[in-house]
Amino acid sequence: MSVLHNRISNKELKDKLYQENFPRTTISFYRYFNIQDPTLFRDDLYKGFNELQVFGRIYVATEGINAQISVPTHLFENYKAYLYSIPGLDGVRLNIAVNDNGKSFWVLRIKTRNKIVADGIEDASFSMENKGKYVNAVQMNALLSSPETIVIDMRNHYEYEVGHFTNAIEIPSDTFREQLPMAADMMKEQKDKNIIMYCTGGIRCEKASAYMLHHGFKNVFHLEGGIINYANQIKEAALESQFKGKNFVFDERLGEKITEDIISKCHQCGSPCDTHTNCKNDGCHLLFIQCPSCAETYAGCCTQACTDIVHLPIEKQIELRKGIDKGQQIFNKSKQRLRPRLGIDI
């Protein structure tokens, strides 16, 4: 019987990854299409990907698939042939990572969900069949040069903070389900303008474009393949990038340099910096931006309180974090400061 789940510890898996003597290619892809039995689809996909030594994080739902993976480079063509043989996925666009060390994932995880993007949409008449027009890098740059164009970033604040398109509007929320109605409301007086929506790999902005059309907007576009595809296209065509800074990615790398611009600051000292990290305190793991100097000063932690904790004996650290629900810990400028941890004021 085939094993359809990982049964090895993360530490062992990471060690095995770094012992591999072959390169890996990091890829992302998605497609909205009907999957009648997500569980069966998931199990078949796991068996096929596992045989090809694919690592990554994949979500499957009745509305489609969303995947971020790494593939042994020497097996890339085998992987592509297998993927394109799956009904509904033939010819799906593969976004190849811009800056890739091949260490983005160390295990294969495929999960079924209600939706591949949590959107909060309950309107039964909403359909992904009516979506905005795709634009490529050349078209994106041309539209951005027009005063009749509004560009909307459909990513979270921590993504926007380290890199975004020139004059892009940030939707001030860290959940996609909140951003959709906010975007429609913010743009309600601009229905005659060209509205371009973008995100990391295309999946969120494609759904956002359909949402805007559903709410009466007319000239809606979305960046095909998102920032990742845009970065590859401008490189191939030797175009000037209108995206400045770093593209945040959801794997071990936490970012891809698109341009050398550093548009964000260290959350601790305010010096120019665009390096995201997770607080080293296991009772915190806050995602925040930290420069090398502050990383040394605070031992990779977000506050002095967390630094003090990581210097305690392991047993004491475990005792302190008992019963704590970290939830989603992300530094947000609206909080004005790093949040307290473990009941200790900052």
Domain ranges in the chain with CATH number 3.40.250.10: 133-237
Nearest to 152 by CA among 205, 76, 100: 205
Note the pLDDT of residue 263: 95
> Do 339 and 296 form a contact (C-beta atoms < 8 A)?
no
Q: Which two tokens stand for residue 314?
A: 């392991």
pLDDT over 90 for what percent of the chain?
70
- pLDDT confidence band for 340 (50 / 70 / 90): very low
In this predicted structure, the answer to whether residue 124 has a pLDDT above a threshold of 70 is yes
Dihedral sign (CA 296, 301, 304, 309): negative
Between 250 and 244, the more confident residue is 244
- CATH topology for 23-112 is Alpha-Beta Plaits (3.30.70)
> Do 170 and 157 form a contact (C-beta atoms < 8 A)?
yes
Across 118-133, average pLDDT: 91
> Do 131 and 185 form a contact (C-beta atoms < 8 A)?
no
pLDDT over 70 for what percent of the chain?
89
> Do 69 and 55 form a contact (C-beta atoms < 8 A)?
yes
- pLDDT confidence band for 7 (50 / 70 / 90): low
Catalytic residue numbers, as ranges: 199
Domain ranges in the chain with CATH number 3.30.70.100: 23-112
In this predicted structure, the answer to whether residue 148 has a pLDDT above a threshold of 80 is yes
Element (H, E) at 207: helix 203-214
Note the pLDDT of residue 339: 41
Dihedral sign (CA 224, 229, 231, 232): negative
In this predicted structure, the answer to whether residue 330 has a pLDDT above a threshold of 60 is no
Note the pLDDT of residue 319: 86
Note the pLDDT of residue 170: 94
Is this prediction's pTM over 0.85?
no
- d(Cα 205, Cα 250) in Å, to the nearest integer? 16
- pLDDT confidence band for 239 (50 / 70 / 90): very high
Note the pLDDT of residue 304: 94
Across 11-27, average pLDDT: 80
In this predicted structure, the answer to whether residue 275 has a pLDDT above a threshold of 90 is yes
Class of domain 133-237: alpha beta
Highest mean pLDDT among 43-47, 199-203, 235-239: 43-47
pLDDT per residue over 40-76, tens digit each? Answer: 999 999 999 999 999 999 999 999 999 999 999 999 9
- pLDDT confidence band for 321 (50 / 70 / 90): confident
> Do 343 and 293 form a contact (C-beta atoms < 8 A)?
no
